[in-house]
Amino acid sequence: MKSIYISEDLEAIRVGIREFVEREIVPNVEDWEEARAVPRELLNEMGKLGFFGLRVPEEYGGIALGHIASVVFGEELGRCTAGGTAITILVHTDLATPYVTNFGSPEQKDRWLPKFASGELITAIGVTEPDAGSDVAALRTTAVRDGDGWRINGTKMFITNGGIADVVFIAARTNVDVKGSRGLSLFGVEAGTEGFTATRALDKMGWHSSNTVELVLDDVWVPGENLIGEENRGFYYIMENFQNERMAIMGQGLGESQKAIELTLDYVKNRMAFGAPLWDKQAIRHRLAMRQAEVDAAREFTYKAAWMTDEGLDSVREVSEVKALVGELTNRVMYDCVQFHGGMGFIAETAIERMYRDARIGSIGGGATEVMLDEVAKRL
């Protein structure tokens, strides 16, 4: 459907992304799910084609588009039928790279951004810990001054791309004497740094093709030049980028939902039962029509939230509403789509079964539904 928020240029970019996804990703996702990883060659190729530079400034090899581009990118990746593949890419482009784009020093931008945009370097963000997820202020990882750098100790959990990233942006407490949200800082920690290890890969319900690990920082020393932005401002940087992160993830959820409906429409129009296609059953037609209406409405709301952010308007309420809405909606869509696939929807490694499992994280990751609704409630 056409939208007033999508320019002709962005629509052309969408077409290019969709063609790449259909040609280079969809035919391979089952192999990548089994391998529990996306090949580095894919990431390198996407960088070379410019897909990783949608939000990167032109002087560093990107095209400097806005938040709506992140939504569209997420949508098209979501259509690949493997959430793990989509999130591997989005973590790099929208969850991690923006910390340098928006808060990095000129030196950090020169050093990292061109290689992030080209796909030469892949990134991750290390915020979540075993005892701190959505509650960022409760983080326990510490960074203490040591010479002209910092000594970091702690553990990070559920870190997507953590085992494959060349640079991980680690949130650590640099001031233990102040309120939690005021004493956090961000550091770029490069792979291979002594004491920085991915101790184990996590076996997940879904997102099998994504690399998700526990990271341990055991007396890791990083130079002072790897501090992102200002000391003790990390919490505010994380909160600001959460807006972008959530829009990209919700774009992914919308793309997954739309693809699931399309797969199910094809199935019910061809599956015969009681002498007629399942599509002839009014209950099925109406349920799918309602889910499509909900997806269409959620998509426009997501675009609006992204547009507000691009315009510099306060969009915390809208983005929080979108995160809660789309996360829950994607799960409803997948439930119905599996139901209408019947027994085939319950067969492991079919696209719809995989999408059903992958969708479950949509109401948890990037801000649980309950946390998002509390943000909305504060603003009512």
Three-class SS string for 212-259?
Answer: EEEEEEEEEEEEHHHEECCCCCHHHHHHHHHHHHHHHHHHHHHHHHHH
Same domain for 207 and 302, yes or no, is: no
Q: Under a CB-based contact definition with an 8 Å cutoff, are residues 252 and 87 in contact?
A: yes
Give the lowest-confidence range in 14-18, 73-77, 139-143, 336-340: 139-143
Same domain for 227 and 286, yes or no, is: no
Q: Which tens digit of pLDDT belongs to each residue from 98-129?
A: 999 999 999 999 999 999 999 999 999 999 99
The whole-number pLDDT of residue 349 equals 76
- State which amino acid sits at residue 219: D
C-beta atoms surrounding 297 within 10 Å = 12
The separation between the first and the last C-alpha atoms of the chain, rounded to the nearest angstrom, is 31
Structural domain includes residue 3:
no
Structural domain includes residue 251:
yes
> How many domains does one find in the chain?
3
Q: Among 33, 76, 245, 256, which one carries the catalytic annotation? A: 245
> What is the distance between the alpha carbons of residues 140 and 155, in angstroms, rounded to a whole number?
8
CATH at residue 218: 2.40.110.10
User: Which tokens go with 344?
Assistant: 């085939």
Structural domain includes residue 105:
yes
The whole-number pLDDT of residue 181 equals 78
User: Which tokens go with 174?
Assistant: 């640099």
The whole-number pLDDT of residue 133 equals 65
The whole-number pLDDT of residue 131 equals 79
The 10 Å CB-count burial string (b at 16+, else e) for 357-370 is bbbbbbbebbbbbe
Residues 213-217 have a mean pLDDT of 97
Q: Which residues contact 242 (CB under 8 A, 6 or more apart)?
A: 366, 367
C-beta atoms surrounding 219 within 10 Å = 11
Q: Is the pLDDT of residue 92 over 70?
A: yes
Same domain for 181 and 111, yes or no, is: no
Q: Is the pLDDT of residue 134 over 70?
A: no
The whole-number pLDDT of residue 180 equals 73
User: Which tokens go with 246?
Assistant: 């959530």
Residues 76-94 have a mean pLDDT of 98
Domain termination residue (choose one: 118, 143, 178): 118
Residues 19-45 have a mean pLDDT of 97
Same domain for 372 and 264, yes or no, is: yes
- For the chain, the 3-state helix, strand and coil shares in percent, each to the nearest 5, are 60, 15, 25
Q: Under a CB-based contact definition with an 8 Å cutoff, are residues 337 and 345 in contact?
A: yes
Q: What are phi and psi of 37, to 5 degrees?
A: -165, 150
Q: Which tens digit of pLDDT belongs to each residue from 264-307?
A: 999 999 999 999 999 999 999 999 999 999 999 999 999 999 99
Q: Which tens digit of pLDDT belongs to each residue from 160-173?
A: 999 999 999 999 99
Name which residue leads in pLDDT, 29 or 179.
29
Same domain for 50 and 14, yes or no, is: yes
Task: Report the mean per-residue pLDDT for the chain.
Answer: 96
CATH at residue 362: 1.20.140.10
Domain termination residue (choose one: 87, 118, 149): 118
75 counts as catalytic: no
Q: Is 102 helix (H, G, I), strand (E, B) or coil?
A: helix
Confidence at 27, pLDDT banded by 50, 70, 90: very high
User: Nearest Cα to 91, choosing from 131, 29, 43?
Assistant: 43
> What is the distance between the alpha carbons of residues 129 and 13, in angstroms, rounded to a whole number?
36
Structural domain includes residue 323:
yes
Same domain for 28 and 143, yes or no, is: no
Same domain for 228 and 153, yes or no, is: yes
User: Which tokens go with 159?
Assistant: 């870190």
Query: Is beta strand 212-223 parallel, antiparallel or unpaired with respect to 149-160?
Result: antiparallel
Q: What DSSP letter does each residue of 162-185 carry, written as one string?
A: TTT-SEEEEEEES-TTS-GGGSEE
User: Which tokens go with 264?
Assistant: 């199910």
Q: Is the pLDDT of residue 139 over 90?
A: no
Q: Is the pLDDT of residue 5 over 80?
A: yes
Q: Which tens digit of pLDDT belongs to each residue from 365-374?
A: 999 999 999 9
Q: Is the pLDDT of residue 77 over 70?
A: yes
The whole-number pLDDT of residue 176 equals 85
> What is the distance between the alpha carbons of residues 87 and 211, in angstroms, rounded to a whole number?
10
Residues 75-82 have a mean pLDDT of 98
Beta bridge partners of 276: 273
Name which residue leads in pLDDT, 135 or 102.
102
Confidence at 324, pLDDT banded by 50, 70, 90: very high
Same domain for 128 and 224, yes or no, is: yes
Q: Which tens digit of pLDDT belongs to each residue from 335-362?
A: 999 999 999 999 997 999 999 999 999 9
- Give percent above pLDDT 90 in the chain: 93
Residues 65-73 have a mean pLDDT of 97
Same domain for 246 and 367, yes or no, is: yes
Confidence at 130, pLDDT banded by 50, 70, 90: confident
- State which amino acid sits at residue 8: E
Classify residue 180 by its DSSP letter. Answer: G
Q: Under a CB-based contact definition with an 8 Å cutoff, are residues 353 and 345 in contact?
A: yes
Same domain for 89 and 145, yes or no, is: no
| Domain of 193, in residue numbers | 123-232
> What is the distance between the alpha carbons of residues 251 and 242, in angstroms, rounded to a whole number?
14
Name which residue leads in pLDDT, 62 or 176.
62
Q: Which tens digit of pLDDT belongs to each residue from 304-319?
A: 999 999 999 999 999 9
